[in-house]
Chains A and B, each alone.
Chain A
Amino acid sequence: MDTKKSSPALPHVTTSELFVGFLKVGLSGFGGVLPFARRMLVDKRRWLTELEFNEVLSLSQFLPGPNIVNVSIIVGRRFQGPIGALAATLGLMLMPLIIILLLAALYDQFAQIEAVRGASNAVSAAAAGLMLAVGFKMARPIHKTPWQVGIGVIAFAAIGLARLPLLWVLAVLAPLSVGIAWWQRR
């Protein structure tokens, strides 16, 4: 295993342990699974050190795809290769997928009831607020760097206001931002 050098004694973790560990993470996460993944990986099972977890997380956030799915891929791969990655991801997604489809079917049955629709609208409104708050929180570490604020504002305006296609926005903005970051570093 090529990731071994960051941890001298890589714990032995079997494929079924990976499946079960991530199965529990998938079941416990309400409104975001990452905190629960960290607790399982670092605090409870000690498959990763704090530092290793931060590295796995930063890689997961940098690459495209759902962050938590990327975490399960990297952790599964680290201990059991492709089968481990598959087991961890399957464990993570299995129960939430079943639950949400059951909920959706259930919702369809009761959507005509006005109180249910009212509740659903209000939950959407609150969830939109949570999303805005996450964005504002994530802006804290970058708000003192003017060019980063500029890139953030352009990304917001292009997608949120102008509703431009994401592919074109990223194709222009990502190289531009990397260019500035590279130039600013020296």
Chain B
Amino acid sequence: MAAPVISPVLLELARQFLTLSLLSIGGANTVIPEIHLRAVEIEHWMTDADFSEMFALSQAAPGPNVLIVSLIGWKAAGVVGALVAMLAMCAPSSLLTYHFANVWERFREAPLRIAIQTALAPVTVGLIVASGYVLTRTIDHEWLAYVVTGTTVILALTTRLHPLWMLAAAAVLGALHTGS
């Protein structure tokens, strides 16, 4: 029996996201720079412009922000690629979580648990700021983009405005800017 032929891109997608799944401490946002590194610079599945478009779509659509992974898979290998990437991204971490949930409950007051939580908080913060920075470097090439990024940071930090309004306002500005 010959093994069914699976495209090398699908295997590579699976391999990349299976490892990323276990590295994504603090959530999908922390691995954005690594996804960019692998998808654009190592595997050449897409250009910088494609990547920022996929990111924009994943942010503008409803649902968890891990969906960026399905778009990377889609860009690399169509709908099957999207499913493979998503499954690879979720399966290892979900299995780990499933089995760990039980153990964790029993060590609620354990000093090591508290130390681990204290220790991982700043790592996560550093990684998320790095995500924002890498995205800004990837996306912002002209003055309007810098203004939009800066204004969004300020609004998000100082007001309780729903993020969707900021994305919507940016979409209108961007469309008008090119239209003029």
Q: Which residues of A contact B (CB under 8 A)?
A: 2-3, 6, 26-33, 55, 58-70, 73-74, 77-78, 82, 85, 89, 92-93, 95-97, 99-101, 103-104, 107, 111, 114-139, 141-142, 148-156, 158-161, 163, 165-167, 170, 173-174, 177-182, 184-185
Residue of A61, A115, A129 near B156 (CB, 8 A) is A129
Q: Which residues of B contact A (CB under 8 A)?
A: 19-29, 31-34, 37, 52-67, 70-71, 74, 79, 82, 86, 89-90, 92-94, 96-98, 100-102, 104-105, 108, 111-112, 114-136, 139-140, 144-146, 148-153, 156-157, 162-164, 166-167, 169-179
Q: Say whether B139 contacts A125, CB under 8 Å.
A: yes
Q: Is the CB of B61 within 8 A of A118?
A: no
- SS of A interface (majority): helix
Partner of B93, one of A31, A66, A104, A185: A66
- Of the candidates A123, A135, A137, the one whose C-beta lies within 8 Å of that of B131 is A135
- A29, A62, A166: which contacts B62 (Cβ < 8 A)? A29
Residue of A nearest to B169 (CB): A126
Which of B19, B55, B156 has the largest number of chain A CB atoms within 10 A? B156
**B167 and A123 contacting across the interface, CB-CB below 8 Å:** yes
| A134 nearest CB neighbor, chain B only | B128
Tell me if A65 and B21 are in contact (CB < 8 A).
yes
Please report whether the interface of chain B is mostly helix, strand, loop or mixed according to DSSP. Answer: helix
- Chain A: which residue is nearest B114 at the CB level? A185
Q: Which residues of A sit under 8 angstroms from B111, Cβ to Cβ?
A: 182, 185
Cα distance A161–B175 when bound, in Å? Answer: 31
Contacts of B21 in A (CB 8 A): 64-65
Residue from B67, B70, B119, B152 in contact with A133 in the complex, judged by beta carbons closer than 8 Å = B152
Closest residue of chain B to A92 (Cβ to Cβ) is B64
Alpha-carbon separation in the docked complex, A27 to B63 (Å): 6
Which residues of B have CB within 8 Å of A180?
Answer: 119
Residues of A close to B121: CB separation below 8 A: 138, 141-142, 148
Q: A118-B179, A185-B114 given. 19 additional CB < 8 A pairs? A: A30-B162, A30-B164, A32-B64, A63-B25, A63-B100, A65-B96, A68-B66, A77-B101, A93-B86, A124-B145, A130-B163, A135-B128, A135-B132, A139-B125, A152-B123, A152-B129, A166-B31, A173-B123, A178-B120
